[in-house]
Amino acid sequence: FHSFNMRSQRGSVFALPTHNPWLWAAMAGSLALSLGVLAWPPAAAAFGFEQLAPAQCGLALTLALAVLPAVELGKSLLRLFSAR
């Protein structure tokens, strides 16, 4: 999520165009590989992963998404103070 957020140092991720197919492909590929390693027991065993409870998966997703509002707040403060 942070790679989408950092496409611009000052512009909001919600105002930027979404026309970067390479970034979307990289995100989809990394998600597919990560889920594949987690879901396929031989790969999970090879990497030493254990199954997570749904609450743990929700916490991980929440923490991954937390970077979006944090960086957006920083960008908005930067825009506010640089405009003065």
Nearest residue to 23 (alpha-carbon basis) of 6, 3, 52 = 3
- Kindly state the tokens that stand for 4: 């989408």
DSSP letter at 80? H
pLDDT 10s digits, 19-73: 788 888 998 999 999 889 988 999 999 999 888 899 998 999 899 888 888 888 8
Domain residue ranges in the chain: 2-82
Reported pTM: 0.61
DSSP letter at 9? S
Residue positions counted in the chain: 84
Contact (CB, 8 A) for 45 and 35: no
C-alpha–C-alpha distance, residues 57 and 25, integer Å: 23
- Give the amino acid at 48: G
